[in-house]
A and B are shown apart, each in its own frame.
Chain A
Amino acid sequence: MTVASSLITRSRVWSISGGIHPAEHKQESNTAPIEAIPLPSTLWLPLNMHIGAPATPVVSVGQMVRKGQIIAQSGGGISASVHAPTSGRITAIEDHAYAHESGLKQPAIAIEADGLDDWRKQTPWEDWASKTHEELLQRIHDGGITGLGGAGFPTDIKYRNRHAPIDTLLINAAECEPYITADDRLMRERAEDILRGAQICLHLLGARRILIGIEDNKPEAATALEQAAETLQQRIELAVVPTKYPSGGEKQLIQLVTGKEVPKGGLPSDLGIVCQNVGTLYQIYRTVVHDEPLISRITTVTGAAVSNPGNYEVLIGTSMETVLNHAGAHLKKADRVIMGGPMMGFAVPDIAAPIMKSTNCLLAPTKKELPPAIEDSPCIRCGLCEQACPVDLLPQQMHWASKHRELESAELHSLEDCIECGACAYVCPSRIPLVQYFRYAKGELKQERQQHEESERARIRFENRQARLEREKQEKEARRKARAEAAAKAQAEKKAREGAPSSGSNDDDPVKAALARAAAKKQARAESAAAVEQSPAELKEALDKAKAKFDKASTRLQEAEANGDAMVAALKKAADKLEEKYLSAEKAYQAATQSQETDPS
């Protein structure tokens, strides 16, 4: 950090809450230059090496491909393409070991290298500034570039979805995880290319400034960036932040270098900031200017079980085992292999899994180096976790809520704002695996929310259906009415039409009139007969039955009234009804016997 010129300004640094100082272990891997790993014989390229929709294969088994050729096209929306890292033959498109904690296999494309490393036709753009934004973004998208810092978010999306005008391109050069030095080495060796990539991004964003956030444990890298800025005559602002984990988290770095917080549920672009990792910027440069898609990356291979720890330039798709062997890892001595750093990385279940776009580190520690967890004690609420939390949560309370699955309480304690950095678990004297508890509770919360949404959808669907049925019924009714009216009208019209010419004759016809009268009489008699259809004997039986029922009901009613039973009201009602029935039955019977007597038929 010797260069001082008008091009380089030192930017003010704010602070973040909490944070921890774990042993850095950077020395092991940051002294040797980046070394390329020889071309492996077979490469496995997973279709989902990024956040978003998996890519779709556009090659078939047996097909020959050239280096840099697209072998799987990005799916719609948020996605990234996959390219052949070398020339060769497609030998399989099937599920293959994949670096994920679950150990589940994932679809991947296998390429058998032909050893020629034969590039597809490349069209370098030395004059990228003359291209349109859309052309540049398309090139970045077609290059399959994803964030190389670890999350693997497709890069072009950052430049497409912008809500606020961008003021600052923030270069994340903090690399705060212990052990990892991939960015450190890249900056030392290829600082100019990183800044060239940054220039492209600055152009795309229309941003005012390049701000670099770097931890103070990487003075060589900072110097390299300053020298590169001099060479390129590029104005930069350098914010050297104190070494503290997790200052390299995007939200934390933004707070450190601007003093602002990304609002809950918002994006850095809400603050006029786009944050980009140095590795990603380097790749943007390679892709835009040299037409090299993302087919290789720098991966730190380190840990006490590795005899040649350092940084390796690895083709995406190379198996982890190959890389570890090349670095001289004693896999028997290694307690486990971690992808990423010791704070946020995960133990890889199968090292046949290929290096992915997001594999920034392979850590093979011995048991002594990173001892397995000891048995946890109960939480004594000492509050060390709270003092270490970079986002001001209360991990001890969240732990209580998560452990007892009190999801509402967990939510009240803003569980979902947890960035899972692991600082709380690191300082916990009870050695409680806090992050695991929080992941569990987050999963439960998510599931509960999904279930809630589903039931909400079901409810809306049901209500809509009810409304539709009701509407259909009404419409049907309306149609029926309309039809009936139309028919009546038609009838009336018909009648009017028919009646008009023969109106006189109708009234005059005595035969017709007589017939009508007879019909009416007959109908009336039939109606009265219907009432007395039952024989008197049957009616008598019904009458007896009704009487018996009524008597029984009244005795029960009396009993109930005497006992002060609660059923009195109901019984009374029933008795009244039975009495009515009984009386009507009696009437019917009397009418029947009378009519029998009077009616001779």
Chain B
Amino acid sequence: MMTLSSPHTTGSNTVSRLMLTLCAALIPGLLALIVFFSWGYLINAILATVTALAVEALILKIRKRPVLFFLKDGSALVTALLLACALPPLAPWWLIVLGTTLAILFGKHLFGGLGQNPFNPAMVAYALLLVSLPLLMTTRWAAVDQSADFGQTVTIIFQGGQTVLDGLTGATPLDDYKQSISRLTAEDVLVNPIYQTIGAVGWTPVNLAFLLGGLVLLGLRIITWHIPVSLLGSLALLSILIGSDADAFVPLSLHLLSGSTMLAAFFIATDPVSAATSNRGKLIYGAGIGALIYIIRTWGNYPDATAFAVLLMNFAAPLIDHYTRPRVYGHKAAVKGYKNEQD
């Protein structure tokens, strides 16, 4: 006879199922990136996955942790795919390998591995790369009107391929609009074929694909609505309140439907390990990221601000947690802060 504590039954959910579902939900977005932009995203995804699993296994071995047990949880895979979706597709191969290594090593295991990291590992790596290699991180985006075939892409990524590269890369719409609007009117800026009626060519379907994946996660209750809604809400609200003048500011449609907005709202900001916990806390956390994205995009030097916005709110998450505990059954009010003042 065994003596076990209750409950004696559990649901069938596991961490690896959670992580793998997350990866599956990323696939529409990743496919859209490959279709509309470049084979580079696929190559990046493969490179990142292999690197992530190898680095994870190596570090687990060094840390004397059960390698297979933790490899199976799929968290390294999620980090790898997020990076593959976020990094420029035509950057040299070592950039993605370096980035993934940084993510697993500095973003995750340095803090104690799965569940212990205060920051989103993929965003830690992204920020490190952006600060250290700004040129590669801003110029190797695939241009939407030109595309290299698979062979050419391989050449660019693995051999430099500078001759092929020219004409294939371009600024992202967020970057282009921000740079151009200081000289031109909105009308003149939008003449550029990278824009379309709503958002930007390529970027709009990509964001819609990520939105679709995100809605699947919501439907499966793997994430709750709080972070995506508050993030997109605050970003949209600020854009309407402050940046409604298209001749001076990036318009709302570009904020929501280009760059990494939907990826951030549904897949990056919702990383539970580094986010705030309570429902109310998540609302504040998401709204903070949305606001920071708008602020950095508008007045900062970085055209896409997701990584910094997420990292800054990661810092704030523990504080938010302390002041947003829900009111417990039978209590008159929620317990707030660091001291129990109820007694």
A residues lining the B interface (CB < 8 Å): 17, 20, 22-23, 101, 103, 178, 251, 255, 261-266, 335-338, 340, 342-351, 363, 365, 370, 372-373, 375, 377-384, 386-387, 390-394, 396-397, 408, 411-414, 417, 420, 422, 425-431, 433, 435-436, 439
Contacts and interface: CB of A to CB of B under 8 A. Distances in A.
B301 interface: no
Contacts of B327: 392
Contact of B6 (A255, A375, A414, A422): A422
30 contacts: A178-B9, A251-B329, A255-B329, A264-B328, A264-B330, A336-B2, A336-B4, A342-B6, A345-B8, A347-B2, A347-B3, A348-B1, A377-B14, A377-B15, A377-B70, A380-B273, A383-B272, A386-B278, A386-B279, A391-B328, A397-B321, A397-B325, A412-B339, A414-B335, A417-B331, A426-B7, A428-B10, A429-B14, A429-B18, A436-B5
Interface in B1-52: 1-11, 13-15, 17-18
A101 B3 contact: yes
B8 A380 contact: no
B116 interface: yes
B8 A347 contact: yes
A396 B275 CA distance: 13
A22 B13 CA distance: 12
Contact of B5 (A20, A23, A101, A386): A101
Interface of B: 1-11, 13-15, 17-18, 69-70, 73, 75, 113-116, 221-222, 224, 272-273, 275, 277-279, 321, 325-332, 335, 338-340
Contacts of A262: 329-330
A385 to B, nearest CB: 10
A345 B6 contact: yes
A413 B3 CA distance: 29
Given A417-B329, A431-B10, 20 more contacts: A101-B5, A263-B330, A336-B2, A343-B6, A346-B5, A347-B3, A370-B9, A377-B70, A377-B73, A377-B115, A380-B115, A381-B272, A382-B18, A386-B279, A387-B221, A390-B329, A392-B326, A392-B328, A397-B277, A425-B10
A266 B332 CA distance: 12
Most chain A beta-carbon contacts within 10 A, residue among B11, B70, B114, B332 = B11
Nearest to A379: B115
A393 B278 contact: no
A265 to B, nearest CB: 8
Contacts of A372: 2, 4
A433 B224 contact: no
A189 to B, nearest CB: 28
B1 A336 contact: yes
A431 B14 contact: yes
A266 B330 contact: yes
Contacts of B277: 381, 383, 386, 394, 396-397
A408 B7 contact: no
Contacts of B73: 377
Contacts of B3: 101, 103, 336, 346-347, 349
B5 A435 contact: yes
Contacts of B7: 342-344, 422, 425-426, 435
B334 to A, nearest CB: 9
A382 B272 contact: yes
A394 B277 CA distance: 8
A445 to B, nearest CB: 12
B13 A378 contact: no
Contacts of B273: 380-381
Contact of A337 (B1, B11, B70, B279): B1
A413 to B, nearest CB: 7
B331 A412 contact: no
A262 B332 CA distance: 11
B221 to A, nearest CB: 7
Contact of A261 (B14, B116, B275, B329): B329
A430 B15 contact: yes
A20 B331 CA distance: 23
Task: Decide if the interface of chain A is mainly helix, strand, loop or mixed.
Answer: loop
A210 to B, nearest CB: 24
A330 to B, nearest CB: 14
Contacts of A412: 325, 335, 338-340
B148 to A, nearest CB: 38
A22 B9 contact: yes
B260 to A, nearest CB: 22
B227 to A, nearest CB: 10
Contacts of A422: 6-7
Nearest to A348: B1
A424 to B, nearest CB: 9
A394 B340 contact: no
A350 B2 CA distance: 10
A391 B332 CA distance: 13
Contacts of A349: 1, 3
A588 to B, nearest CB: 66
A428 B331 CA distance: 26
Contacts of B114: 377-378, 380
B14 A342 contact: no
Nearest to B281: A394
Contacts of A336: 1-4, 8
Contacts of B15: 377, 380, 429-430
B340 A342 contact: no
A414 B331 CA distance: 10
Contacts of B4: 336, 346-347, 372-373
B74 to A, nearest CB: 11
B8 A370 contact: yes
Given A261-B329, A417-B328, A429-B13, A380 B6 contact: no
A393 B5 contact: no
B340 A408 contact: yes
A345 B7 CA distance: 7
A433 B115 contact: no
Contacts of B331: 264, 414, 417
The 9 residue pairs across chains A and B that have the minimum distance between CB atoms:
A422-B7, A378-B115, A391-B329, A264-B330, A429-B13, A342-B9, A342-B8, A392-B326, A414-B328
B11 A261 contact: no
Contacts of B321: 397
Given A414-B331, A425-B10, A429-B13, A378 B116 contact: yes
A10 B339 CA distance: 45
A261 B330 contact: yes
A350 B70 CA distance: 37
A414 B115 CA distance: 23
A408 B335 CA distance: 12
Given A408-B340, A413-B325, A431-B10, A394 B2 contact: no
Contacts of A344: 6-7
A418 to B, nearest CB: 9
B329 to A, nearest CB: 4
Contacts of A338: 8
B1 to A, nearest CB: 5
Contact of A394 (B13, B326, B339): B326
Nearest to A346: B6
Contact of A433 (B1, B5, B113, B330): B5
Most chain A beta-carbon contacts within 10 A, residue among B113, B279, B330, B338 = B330
A365 B9 CA distance: 11
Contacts of B2: 335-336, 347, 372
Nearest to B339: A412
Nearest to A422: B7
A435 B6 contact: yes
A420 B70 CA distance: 29
Contacts of B116: 378
B144 to A, nearest CB: 36
Nearest to B326: A392
A347 B1 contact: yes
A195 B1 CA distance: 40
A178 B8 CA distance: 11
A414 B338 CA distance: 13
Nearest to B117: A380
